[in-house]
Amino acid sequence: MNNSYDDFAALLDLWLAFLDHEAKSPHTIAAYGRNLRHFAAWLETTYRQPCAPTAVIRRDVTDYQASQQTAGVKPATINNRLAAVSRFFKWAVAQGHVTQDPTVLVKAVRLTRRQPQSLSAADLRRLLRAVHQAGDGRDIAIMELLAGTGLRVSETVQLRYGDLELNARSGMVTVRRGKGGVHRQVPLTAEVRRALTAYLEQHPGQPEAPLWVGQRGPLQDRGALFRIVNKYALAAGLDALGPHTLRHTFATRYLQAHPGDLRNLAAILGHSSLDTVMIYTEPTTDELAQRMEEAELGAPNGNL
């Protein structure tokens, strides 16, 4: 029986349904869909004919990659698009819908490693002061949790009352389904426990109920967290920022306090590879400049 597909849209729908069946997050599925449609649109524009998955060859993929680089697209974005195309064709080959994977041997764009944007200690204090001065118990608890644990946006939104364990001297939050379906427990500091305890006293709930509740009901929209964080960033006189900046800030501060402790940081953040958290050890441009100045001043007579 021939299971090949020449209709890109139909095959993409099958793949996205497969990902949903595999319990991939809606955010991941939507991102894959966008990236594949971008690739297909480029093919159709370039060759002026409908995109047929069975007709795609390796040269198409490398030309697509080159066109993205020429257009000035960020390397990380190009690599995300290539990763989606690769996963799609690997699945299509395994299912017998196409006979060859055109992404084999196509290499990702090499990235320049740089430390993710994070807040300075002073700016973090300004942000938390702003929410404590103007925010309600829910917003205070959310901001303290993000800053004190480094949880992802999706993980924070999905929390239930029963995911919290709060005691006088200890506490933890259970992330039941992190990225990649990873289950983990993250300890809570005293400041985070105080904020969560104060919130729960005003808004008690059943163990399986959504944790974050507002005037309009449960908060289950990722965009709502972005709006909350940005609201208090502006109130603190900071540039616009999102929850992920607080995740980066937590990771950076953790390594400043515990240099080299990549294994525990990876466990807290929910990363399976230490390579992922290595980026937080990369010096910033300012730090590199300072080290170069120090080296210059340390050389005899100012000469090398």
Could you say which of 179, 194, 222, 231 is catalytic? 179
User: Are the C-beta atoms of 272 and 182 separated by less than 8 Å?
Assistant: yes
Say yes or no to pLDDT of 303 above 50.
no
Specify the higher pLDDT residue, 203 or 294.
Answer: 203
Instruction: Tell me the backbone φ, ψ of residue 217, rounded to 5 degrees.
Output: 110, -165
Q: Where are the domains of the chain?
A: 8-94, 121-281
- The total of other beta-carbon atoms located within 10 Å of residue 154's CB is 18
Which pLDDT belongs to residue 214?
Answer: 80
Tens-digit pLDDT profile for residues 262-282: 889 999 998 877 777 777 766
Could you say which of 81, 97, 244, 248 is catalytic? 244
- Asked about 271 being catalytic, the answer comes back as yes
User: Are the C-beta atoms of 178 and 155 separated by less than 8 Å?
Assistant: yes
Whole-angstrom distance, CA of residue 193 vs CA of residue 173: 10
User: Are the C-beta atoms of 230 and 242 separated by less than 8 Å?
Assistant: yes
Could you say which of 81, 247, 248, 253 is catalytic? 247
Whole-angstrom distance, CA of residue 93 vs CA of residue 181: 25
Largest distance between two CA atoms of the chain: 80
User: What is residue 174's three-state secondary structure?
Assistant: strand
pTM as predicted: 0.60
Could you say which of 81, 193, 248, 271 is catalytic? 271
- The gap from C-alpha 58 to its chain's centroid, in whole angstroms, comes to 29
Tens-digit pLDDT profile for residues 107-164: 888 765 555 688 999 999 999 999 999 999 999 999 999 999 999 999 999 999 999 9
Tens-digit pLDDT profile for residues 178-234: 666 678 999 999 999 999 999 999 888 899 999 998 878 888 788 899 999 999 999
- Runs of H (alpha helix) within the chain: 8-21, 26-47, 58-70, 75-94, 121-134, 137-149, 153-157, 190-202, 222-235, 243-257, 262-269, 274-277, 285-298
pLDDT band, residue 106 (cuts 50/70/90): confident
Interaxial angle between packed helices 75-94 and 26-47, expressed in degrees from 0 to 180 and rounded to the nearest 10: 90
Q: Residue type at 72?
A: G
Of all residues in the chain, the percent with pLDDT exceeding 90 is 58
Q: Rounded to whole angstroms, what are the CA distances from 31 to 27, 77, 242?
A: 6, 11, 19
Q: Residue type at 81?
A: R
- Asked about 244 being catalytic, the answer comes back as yes
Could you say which of 152, 193, 248, 253 is catalytic? 152
Pick the CATH number of 8-94 from 1.10.3720.10, 1.10.150.130, 1.10.287.90, 1.10.10.1150: 1.10.150.130
Whole-angstrom distance, CA of residue 303 vs CA of residue 67: 45
Architecture category of domain 121-281 in CATH: Orthogonal Bundle (1.10)
